[in-house]
Amino acid sequence: MATDLDIGMNDWMVKRLTWDDSYRPDHGKVLDAAALEKLKRFSRYHDVDGDGIAARTLPGVGGKGAYFVRGSGHDKHAAYTEDSDAYRELVDRLKRKFDHAATLVPRPAYTRRPNADVGLVTLGSCDAAVREAADRLADQEIIVDVMRIRSFPFADEVREFIEAYDSVFVIEQNRDGQVRTLLTAELGIPRDAMTPILDYGGMPLTARVVVEAVTGALSEVTA
C-alpha cells in the first residue's frame, strides 16, 4: 500500500461506501485439525503446488500443526538450519511467491482518451491533479492516457502501458524519482524511456505543475 501525508492527514470526499453482505474472507491455505491428521508431517514452508504459497496453521489447532516462526535460517519444516541448500530452497520459494503475487494484487486504474500518444504514470494522491492535467492538455491538443499504479509487485499491465507510448512521464512527489527507479529495477524498462516529473515542495501536487512539465518537455523534443 502506498500512502502519503495528503491522503493520511487531509479530509477527502469519497463516494458513499457500500458493503457486500455476501463477502466472506478467504484465509487461503489454512489447515485445520482434520487436514493435519491426513498429513504424515506438517511442513510450514513446503510449496506443494508451485505457487510459492505454503499452507499454514493457526495456533491452537494441535501439536502436529505447531511450528516456530523465526528470523534465523530455517528449512521448509520451519526447523533451524545452517544448510545452504535448505536455505536457498526457501529463498527461491519466496521469489516464486512474490512473482505470483504480481498476478493477484490490484490492477492499475486508467483514464484513457482515443488516439493518445503520451502516457502519464502516477500513484497515490497525485491522481486527481494528474487527471485534471490530462483534461487541460487535451484543450491544448496534447492527448494523454493516465495510469495510476495501485500495487507492488507490478502487474504485467504496468509494463504494457509504459511500452505503448512514444513519450512516458512518471509523476511522483519525491526528489529522486523512486517509482521510476522501481520500474527500471523490477521491469527492466530503461530509465531514459521515462521522463520524471518530480514535485517535492511539501504542498499537494497541482495540475499546473504537470501541464507545464509535459508541455515543456514535449516542446523541447519538437524544437
Partner 1 sequence: MTSIVKPPVRHPSLRTNTLGLTLRDYEGVMSTLCAGCGHDSVTAALVQAAWELALEPHRAAKMSGIGCSSKTTAYFMKQSHGFNSVHGRMPSVTTGAAAANRGLTYIGISGDGDSLSIGIGQLAHAIRRNVDMLYVIENNGVYGLTKGQFSASADVGSTSKRGEANEMSPIDPVLLALSIGATFVARSFSGDKKQLVPILKAGIAHKGFALVDVISPCVTFNDHDGSTKSYLYTREHEVEAVHAHYVPVLSEISLPDSDDAVRVVAMHDGSAVRLRPTATDYDPTDRTSAEAHVRACQDRGEIATGLLFVDEKSRDMHELLKTPDRPLIDIPFEQLCPGSAALEALMDGHR
Query: Where do contacts with partner 1 occur on this chain (CB under 8 A)?
Result: 16-21, 24-25, 58-63, 65-72, 79-82
Shortest separation between residue 61's beta carbon and partner 1, angstroms: 7
Residue number, 83 or 156, with CB nearest to partner 1:
83
Residue 141 CB neighbour total at 10 angstroms = 6
Residue number, 12 or 68, with CB nearest to partner 1:
68
Residue number, 65 or 119, with CB nearest to partner 1:
65
User: Rounded to whole angstroms, how far apart are CA atoms 179 and 170?
Assistant: 8
Shortest separation between residue 1's beta carbon and partner 1, angstroms: 18
CA 219, distance to chain mean position in Å, is: 32
Shortest separation between residue 43's beta carbon and partner 1, angstroms: 15
Shortest separation between residue 78's beta carbon and partner 1, angstroms: 9
Residue number, 60 or 190, with CB nearest to partner 1:
60
Alpha helices (H) in 140-172, listed in sequence order? 156-163
* Torsion sign (Cα): 79, 85, 90, 93: negative
Residue number, 56 or 150, with CB nearest to partner 1:
56
Strand order in the sheet with 109-111: 109-111, 144-149, 118-123, 167-172, 195-198
Shortest separation between residue 8's beta carbon and partner 1, angstroms: 19
Can you read off the three cell numbers belonging to residue 168? 512516458
Residue 98 CB neighbour total at 10 angstroms = 12
Enclosing H/E stretch for 168:
strand 167-172
